[in-house]
Amino acid sequence: YEISACLVGSEMCKETDTKQIPIAEMQPGDLIFYSYKGTQSTIHHISIYAGGEMMWEARSTATGLRYSNIYSVSGMMPFAGRV
């Protein structure tokens, strides 16, 4: 499974292979994907799972890095990614 991620406000993109895992099996460090339409092509946000239904995310440069609940962003995909 290949996912492409771009830095906000940047033309730099990163493609990486991830192993799909069920949300219930996430471990700290796994990637959580959020999509507008539930498809890979509409992924709009990627965060890092911290454990205990919490994540590290950066929604904008104004708010910086935040420790948030994984359900605070709409459109969570039904799987996570392990690099």
Per-residue pLDDT of the chain (83 residues; tens, 9 = 90+): 455 555 444 444 554 577 889 999 999 999 998 988 888 778 888 899 999 999 999 888 888 899 999 999 999 999 898 98
Strand partners, 34: 45, 76
CA-to-CA distance for 29 and 14, rounded, in angstroms? 17
For 45, the token pair is 């946000």
Instruction: Give the model's pLDDT for residue 58.
Output: 87
33: Cβ contacts below 8 Å, ≥ 6 apart: 3, 43, 45, 46, 76, 77, 79, 80, 81
CA-to-CA distance for 50 and 26, rounded, in angstroms? 9
Rounded to two decimals, the pTM is: 0.78
CA-to-CA distance for 16 and 81, rounded, in angstroms? 10
